[in-house]
Chains A and B, each alone.
Chain A
């Protein structure tokens, strides 16, 4: 077990390093630089000083090694555009809102996706199933940046139940969470439905019926637990899509999260901000996938972390 964990953590660090390297190279491959918009107005000497200040005058490999060195001490460097602030500050600033939004969206997606999937499976080929499946198709087809304005239009403007945008009270979180969760709900519903239908046709369900266990208990004790397993393996990529979705949704709802800094960072070629937020999100994602694997092994007795292979 310890062996496995050590190996896993090492793998996670390697993965992160690859992501840092790739992002670093790609970012510098994009034309433009942080001072592009000002270079017409600023005298050459000032630009040179600015470059020197942020070590942009050093060769790329040197910049890369310097960045890695700071990263080891969890220092993501200064923002080039907002002079007074470090990327660490920005992330600390935006993390609360982003984490709340992401966490709430994931919880909504998992709870409702699984619930709808179960309901659809148990009512297979009946009205409730068709309704759930129709919603699921919509959820897959409509991206969050279309869903967000639709939600605003109906639930904030036509029927002013929730605030249009910005951040503050819990009421502010409802529409962006829904916009984010809609797609993942749809995907989880479909997976859970298929998995549940398969499980309910298994022989061990018949065994439970032959024991005289009422249907409700069979569904809960024998059905759901087994049906959730394949869905859990799918949560990793889903959470990834949800995290990238927050960039756009935060922008639409003007939420002061990390996503806003990231998007602004890209427009401004603010290298440290782009790198820092990307690394931060990657780290979260890698840790999430790790936790999902552990959760999986806890639910499925056939999978034990001590095992050498698979």
Chain B
């Protein structure tokens, strides 16, 4: 059996706040193989960023703490590494791209220096080599005039260009894995497409593994191979992008799909946002977290966590509908429920 590059196993993260303990991530498991792009999707607040922070060992502590599970990278459990060894993985093995390029760069440091800061540390190179590397990285991410740009400051770059710089920072040490947390959310639509194209090209050229976090299924369809759908700190469905788009198995995924604009349909369909709000993570429900908003909720859903059902090729969903004792979905639809 070949080993995954990254495995998240039953990860649990809590935050202590004045209002009590928030269970932000409640047992998330998924994996990323070499050279593949995995998308994590879900509404705002479902724990996507916290999952990413946990992989990097960047959960702010206090108030946050990994209370269960583990993160395994190349066979090493990195969630329990001492800080010093973790620093050798951050940046060099796993790079990270953040959501807001306007604030992700240090305003008083030259862009080139920011790009190679980690590279200089890990490779112990000379100033000239570092500068050459910075120019090379700027060129790689498609910034024109890299020889001039390398000595400029972030305020001299536009938002899209800054995000390219942030990507250059993430790639400067040739990491095996890049985690991009909503890398295009803060950008205009045209710039979004350019940044996605860039990520896709880099992923293919460099045989990178990418975890892309988004709440936009359009982004998923564009660049991911597999996807992980999260809801209220848990994974509700996972599988290849083709399988999940063609044959979604979880009512929450159905809801997400319904709120997606369809280009293949003639008349413009109205987007249907999923009604209701996610549950309170101070006191998460004992049963299925989606029950309060689910058109198909049954008695059992509120009492017990749904088991995970496998549909082949790694396509899985956690929903009682797929239990053999449950009524057929067709029967429920016939009984007047919306699919």
Residue ranges of A at the interface with B (Cβ–Cβ < 8 Å)? 202-204, 206-214, 221-222, 225-226, 229, 299-302
Closest residue to A217 on the B side, CB-wise? Answer: B121
Query: With the chains together, A301 CA to B89 CA distance in Å?
Result: 32
> Are B103 and A213 in contact, CB atoms less than 8 angstroms apart?
no
| Cβ distance A173 to chain B, nearest Cβ, rounded Å | 35
> Are A206 and B91 in contact, CB atoms less than 8 angstroms apart?
no
Task: List, sorted by A's number, 14 A–B pairs whose CB atoms are closer than 8 Å.
Answer: A204-B103, A204-B104, A204-B107, A207-B166, A210-B91, A210-B96, A210-B170, A212-B88, A212-B91, A212-B121, A212-B122, A213-B117, A226-B107, A300-B108
Query: With the chains together, A208 CA to B98 CA distance in Å?
Result: 11
Query: With the chains together, A213 CA to B106 CA distance in Å?
Result: 14
Closest residue to A226 on the B side, CB-wise? Answer: B108
Closest residue to A201 on the B side, CB-wise? Answer: B60
Residues of B within 8 A of A210 (CB): 56, 58, 90-91, 95-96, 98, 170
Query: With the chains together, A213 CA to B87 CA distance in Å?
Result: 7
> Are A226 and B98 in contact, CB atoms less than 8 angstroms apart?
no
- B93-114 vs A, CB cutoff 8 Å, 1 = contact: the mask equals 0011010100111111110001
Q: Does B160 contact A (CB under 8 A)?
A: no
Residue ranges of B at the interface with A (Cβ–Cβ < 8 Å)? 56, 58, 86-92, 95-96, 98, 100, 103-110, 114, 117-118, 121-122, 153, 155, 166, 169-170
Q: A204-B107, A302-B155 are in contact. Are A211 and B98 (CB under 8 A)?
A: no
| 19 new A-B contacts at CB < 8 Å, known A207-B106, A211-B91 | A203-B100, A204-B103, A204-B104, A204-B105, A207-B96, A207-B169, A208-B117, A210-B58, A210-B96, A211-B117, A211-B121, A212-B87, A212-B88, A212-B89, A212-B118, A221-B109, A222-B109, A299-B108, A301-B153
Query: With the chains together, A32 CA to B37 CA distance in Å?
Result: 87
> Are A214 and B87 in contact, CB atoms less than 8 angstroms apart?
yes
Residues of B within 8 A of A214 (CB): 87
Query: With the chains together, A211 CA to B116 CA distance in Å?
Result: 9
Query: With the chains together, A202 CA to B108 CA distance in Å?
Result: 13
| Cβ distance B172 to chain A, nearest Cβ, rounded Å | 8
User: 5 closest A-B pairs (Cβ-Cβ)?
Assistant: A212-B91, A212-B90, A211-B118, A210-B96, A203-B103
Query: With the chains together, A214 CA to B87 CA distance in Å?
Result: 7
| Cβ distance B6 to chain A, nearest Cβ, rounded Å | 16
Choice from B86, B98, B110, B155 contacting A207 with Cβ under 8 Å: B98
Closest residue to B88 on the A side, CB-wise? Answer: A212
Q: A207-B98, A212-B122 are in contact. Are A301 and B107 (CB under 8 A)?
A: yes
Query: With the chains together, A165 CA to B91 CA distance in Å?
Result: 58
Max chain B C-beta neighbours (<10 A), residue from A202, A206, A211: A211
| Cβ distance B15 to chain A, nearest Cβ, rounded Å | 15
Query: With the chains together, A210 CA to B53 CA distance in Å?
Result: 9
Query: With the chains together, A221 CA to B108 CA distance in Å?
Result: 10
Q: A207-B166, A212-B88 are in contact. Are A226 and B96 (CB under 8 A)?
A: no
Choice from A204, A209, A229, A299 contacting B106 with Cβ under 8 Å: A204
Closest residue to A207 on the B side, CB-wise? Answer: B104
Residues of A within 8 A of B118 (CB): 211-213
Query: With the chains together, A210 CA to B108 CA distance in Å?
Result: 18
> Are B98 and A203 in contact, CB atoms less than 8 angstroms apart?
yes
Query: With the chains together, A208 CA to B108 CA distance in Å?
Result: 13
Residues of B within 8 A of A225 (CB): 108-109
Residues of B within 8 A of A211 (CB): 90-91, 117-118, 121, 169
| Cβ distance B261 to chain A, nearest Cβ, rounded Å | 30
> Are A208 and B90 in contact, CB atoms less than 8 angstroms apart?
no
Closest residue to B113 on the A side, CB-wise? Answer: A221
